[in-house]
Structure 1
Amino acid sequence: MNPLPLLFLTLFNSILGLSILFPIIGPLARELHFSEVQTGLFSTGYALMQFLLAPYWGRRSEVLGRKPILLRGILGFAAGFFLFALFGWLGFKGVLSGLPLFGLMLASRLLGGAFSSATLPTAQAYLADITSRERRTQNFALLGAAFGLGVIFGPAIGAGLAGLGLLVPVLFSASLALLNALFVRLVLPESRKAEERPATPPRLGFGDPRIWPILLLGLIVNLSSVAMEQTVSFYYQDRLGLSPERTAQTVGIALVAFGLIAVFIQGFVVRAVKWSPRALLAVGLPLALLGYLGLVLAHSFWLLTGALVLLGAGGAFAGPGVTAAQSLAVSDNEQGAVAGLSSSVQALGRMLGPLVGTGLYSLHPEYPYLFSALFMLIGIGFFLGRQDVGRVEHQQTPA
């Protein structure tokens, strides 16, 4: 059987399990009497561990194989979520409270982040193993669609399960991860034979001249998007004068449109047009810039949501362009290493984005989107000045 659909399902399940937590983390933290800063540390700590450890897991997958590292990532994710639910339950029962409860729940998030950082880079390297360089851009877009679908459906499932109890979505995520691990163990084949693996991990670093410009572009795209995502619900409420309940409904509809256009472009359009990574970036970066400027200028629901759709389209083109360009810039024995560095940069964007977005919003509601537009404009200028970024014809072809 073609392993590509199996890999799609593996990544979809992983992202689904993570995003189920999104709608319940705030209410859960308040029920356990945590402050907003403490609640934010659950996400920041998770991203910090991914930033620190994704390069390690990517390199280890070159030596040990993709499948064992995928399994470790998924099982570690499950362990972290089970512990998070256990400590939360002890908090509800009054066995733990205050700083000891917070410390243990934060530790479980750090554990989950440390191991789950293995999943995405290993999945990207696995895809590079089973895909020719000519088709790599289109298939990386398919992984992006799996990611997008997980983010769309996860919060809806989490919100639905929360009616049974705030810890039920956490237990569901952990159980889903165990089923995902079983699926990987029994069904997903190893993509690299033992004799094809190097004896030691490749020495690929952030400063490698082949990849640092692409990593920088990836950071620009990711940081700009996260800064927007952290503040857009405030922006809709303030711009449109909505009640809290109406804001949740309105922003939910807008973000579904944002996610659906991204999934459609990555799942169908990018695979159909078969553009090079550079062509995808040449389309995606300007679309994203227009989206951020649209948010600054819009004063109605339809214009705001239209700007979000532009952003979704821009990210859907630029994302596979960045990922494929990184993969095509290095040799076949460095795919895990470059994917680990890429995941680390994405985690850095998830760490800095909330701080940048909320900090600027506190100064003026339009500042986060002006920042993202300016940051994207800098990225476009950098991209235009680097003619080597994303050109397939300059890359090494497999033997």
Structure 2
Amino acid sequence: MPSSPLLTNPTLRALVAIALFTYTAQNMLNVSIAPLSRALDLPEWIVGAAVSLAAAAVTALSQFWGRRSIAWGRRRVILLALILALTAGTLFSAAVWARAAGYIGAFAAAGAIMAARGPFFGAAVAAIPPTGQALVAEVTPDEGSRVRGTSAFSGAINLSVMVGSLVSSALGAWWIFGPVHATPVFVLIALAIALIWLPRDGGTTHPRRHLPRLSHEAAEPEKATPASSIEGTTDSASAEPTDGELPPRVSWTDRRIAPWIASIFGIYFANGVVQITIGFLVQDRGGLEPAPAVSITALMLLANAAGAMLMQLIVVPRLGWGPRRLLRAGMTLALIALTCLTLAPTLWAVAASTFAMGVASGMASPGYSAGASLAVTEREQGGIAGVINATGAITWIVAPVSATALYGWMPLSPFLLALSLVALSCSCAWLLLHKLDIVSRARD
């Protein structure tokens, strides 16, 4: 089997290390935010609103960052994003400390937490996946290598979820506020990695700050070389832009990628429901207090991430399945796993179901990422990388706030809603993804 681009491309290895520490920091916030809402005497909907605002920022900025990672350079984009993430993590930590010490009231604490975990942190982390996805597309010229590359990059991010869960569990067992105050430290490590190991952006021209006006011919996808026609791999250090022009945007309604989006959005919504309500689920079905619930919640998210990482780093690269088959299998398994989670009576059953949900995501996500990436041209890879990252984020705009509100009304209701959407996407995966050559769609 050909080696993974993660092992051969130094820029991609640096991006994975940055993603590891940044997403570890993000996951520490995810694990602790539900128990913290009760420990700090804040309304439950604050949790959902914070994550929804972050998802809105990711949705709005994913294609922005993806295109600019090509036009401005990867180092410049990543450094800007990490400085923003460091600011957000520090604000979140300060707000929690001030609320716990009694220096600020619930209203001020809620506003600071929503701002820090919402648009600030969301805008920052929005830069990392599209930057990495665009680079993976650049160094993987065919369907098989594209599946392996996207799977490996996604698996590395899921590894960070596992690390974040373990660190949160250990810190939360020692002090419920420990994961929050450790968040800026992990972002600072990611910033140091970017400063030391990310190669400097090539070229001496000043990038344009606005999208240049493209002629109709230049904007047409068929005029560009299909991504599948790239011969060999491109060294990332020499792949910097020469004129600073932004590549074209990719429309969500583009008929080349719309079937892929329709076939995946259900599992992303379900993941949002599961990850944001798991802290409440652990407390209510396990009868736990907020402090011990931090560690158990971290273990549940660890089980979910372990399932996804197992598939993305080990199983999917060895299966040799195409994007369509991976997506269909993953969505079918997600429907079964979510049904089991909805009915799970014990914490052991919840853990097994969340692990199965991770396995399903670990199959479906690489299929979607590779399939959508192969469906567009080389010039559109920055744009499609942003769309791929934003697809999951757009479901998180609605999923967390609706899930927490519905859970407060009737605990079973958010899972029933997620089940219906997973069933719809599973149907789309089987009915809309026709048996056509995926790569040829880039020429249509």
TM-score range, shorter chain: 0.7 to 0.9
Residue by residue, what CA displacement relative to the aligned partner does 1:191-248 show, whole Å, maximum 9, x if unpaired? 353446662331322222222222233322200222233445655666xx64215877
Cα 1:242–1:79, aligned 2, differ >3 Å: closer, same or farther?
Answer: closer
Residue by residue, what CA displacement relative to the aligned partner does 1:236-266 show, whole Å, maximum 9, x if unpaired? 666xx64215877766555433332221111
Q: State the partner residue of 2:120.
A: 111
Q: 2:261 aligns with which of 215, 223, 228?
A: 215
Within 5 A, what are the aligned runs for 1:65-144?
65-92=73-100, 95-109=103-117, 110-134=119-143, 135-144=145-154
Cα 1:32–1:188, aligned 2, differ >3 Å: closer, same or farther?
Answer: same
Instruction: Name the CA distance, whole Å, in 1 between partners of 2:382 and 2:173.
Output: 40
**More displaced stretch, 347-356 vs 193-202:** 193-202
Give unmatched runs, 5+ long, in structure 2. 1-7, 202-235
Residue 49 of structure 1 aligns with an amino acid whose one-letter code is: A
Q: 2:326 aligns with which of 280, 287, 291?
A: 280
Cα 1:95–1:120, aligned 2, differ >3 Å: closer, same or farther?
Answer: same
Matched residue SS, 1:204: coil
Cα 1:281–1:169, aligned 2, differ >3 Å: closer, same or farther?
Answer: same
* CA-CA distance at 1:179 after TM superposition: 2.1
* CA-CA distance at 1:325 after TM superposition: 1.4
Of all paired residues, the percent bearing the same amino acid is 26
Q: RMSD value over aligned CA atoms?
A: 3.1
- TM-score w.r.t. structure 1 length? 0.85
Instruction: Name the CA distance, whole Å, in 2 between partners of 1:97 and 1:249.
Output: 27
Instruction: Name the CA distance, whole Å, in 2 between partners of 1:152 and 1:47.
Output: 21
**More displaced stretch, 23-32 vs 64-73:** 23-32
Residue 43 of structure 1 aligns with an amino acid whose one-letter code is: V
Matched residue SS, 2:29: coil
Cα 1:184–1:274, aligned 2, differ >3 Å: closer, same or farther?
Answer: farther
* CA-CA distance at 1:299 after TM superposition: 4.4
Instruction: Name the CA distance, whole Å, in 2 between partners of 1:171 and 1:236.
Output: 23
Q: State the partner residue of 2:231.
A: none
Q: 1:371 aligns with which of 392, 412, 417?
A: 417
Q: State the partner residue of 1:174.
A: 184
Instruction: Name the CA distance, whole Å, in 1 between partners of 2:280 and 2:92.
Output: 28
Q: Is the 8 A contact 2:172 2:295 kept in 1?
A: no
Instruction: Name the CA distance, whole Å, in 2 between partners of 1:95 and 1:237.
Output: 28
Q: State the partner residue of 2:170.
A: 160
Instruction: Name the CA distance, whole Å, in 1 between partners of 2:75 and 2:436.
Output: 28
Does residue 8 of structure 1 match 2:20? Answer: no
Instruction: Name the CA distance, whole Å, in 2 between partners of 1:202 and 1:289.
Output: 36
Matched residue SS, 1:23: helix
Q: 1:244 aligns with which of 288, 293, 313?
A: 288
Residue 70 of structure 1 aligns with an amino acid whose one-letter code is: I
Residue by residue, what CA displacement relative to the aligned partner does 1:3-35 show, whole Å, maximum 9, x if unpaired? 243332222122111111233334545565533
Within 5 A, what are the aligned runs for 1:262-281?
262-281=308-327
Residue 150 of structure 1 aligns with an amino acid whose one-letter code is: S
Give unmatched runs, 5+ long, in structure 1. none
Instruction: Name the CA distance, whole Å, in 1 between partners of 2:268 and 2:64.
Output: 21
Q: 1:258 aligns with which of 304, 315, 318?
A: 304
Q: 1:55 aligns with which of 30, 43, 63?
A: 63
Q: State the partner residue of 1:338.
A: 384
Q: Is the 8 A contact 2:82 2:191 kept in 1?
A: yes
Cα 1:32–1:286, aligned 2, differ >3 Å: closer, same or farther?
Answer: closer
Instruction: Name the CA distance, whole Å, in 1 between partners of 2:148 and 2:335.
Output: 23
Instruction: Name the CA distance, whole Å, in 1 between partners of 2:303 and 2:111.
Output: 37
Instruction: Name the CA distance, whole Å, in 2 between partners of 1:315 and 1:99.
Output: 37
Q: Is the 8 A contact 2:35 2:294 kept in 1?
A: no
Q: State the partner residue of 1:290.
A: 336
Residue 141 of structure 1 aligns with an amino acid whose one-letter code is: S
Instruction: Name the CA distance, whole Å, in 2 between partners of 1:97 and 1:265.
Output: 45
Q: Is the 8 A contact 1:120 1:343 kept in 2?
A: yes
Instruction: Name the CA distance, whole Å, in 2 between partners of 1:67 and 1:21.
Output: 26
Residue by residue, what CA displacement relative to the aligned partner does 1:281-312 show, whole Å, maximum 9, x if unpaired? 12111111111233345546655544433322
**More displaced stretch, 77-86 vs 186-195:** 186-195
* CA-CA distance at 1:175 after TM superposition: 2.4
Instruction: Name the CA distance, whole Å, in 2 between partners of 1:217 and 1:358.
Output: 25
Q: Is the 8 A contact 1:18 1:173 kept in 2?
A: yes
Residue 120 of structure 1 aligns with an amino acid whose one-letter code is: P
Cα 1:367–1:24, aligned 2, differ >3 Å: closer, same or farther?
Answer: closer
Cα 1:197–1:297, aligned 2, differ >3 Å: closer, same or farther?
Answer: farther
* CA-CA distance at 1:48 after TM superposition: 2.1
Q: Is the 8 A contact 1:137 1:276 kept in 2?
A: yes
Q: Is the 8 A contact 1:287 1:314 kept in 2?
A: yes
Q: Is the 8 A contact 1:270 1:317 kept in 2?
A: yes
Cα 1:58–1:254, aligned 2, differ >3 Å: closer, same or farther?
Answer: closer
* CA-CA distance at 1:95 after TM superposition: 5.0
Q: 2:160 aligns with which of 146, 150, 160?
A: 150
The number of equivalent residue pairs is 395
* CA-CA distance at 1:272 after TM superposition: 1.0
Does residue 20 of structure 1 match 2:38? Answer: no
Instruction: Name the CA distance, whole Å, in 2 between partners of 1:357 and 1:121.
Output: 27
Instruction: Name the CA distance, whole Å, in 2 between partners of 1:391 and 1:233.
Output: 43
Q: Is the 8 A contact 2:248 2:380 kept in 1?
A: yes
Residue by residue, what CA displacement relative to the aligned partner does 1:267-290 show, whole Å, maximum 9, x if unpaired? 101111222111111211111111
* CA-CA distance at 1:123 after TM superposition: 1.8
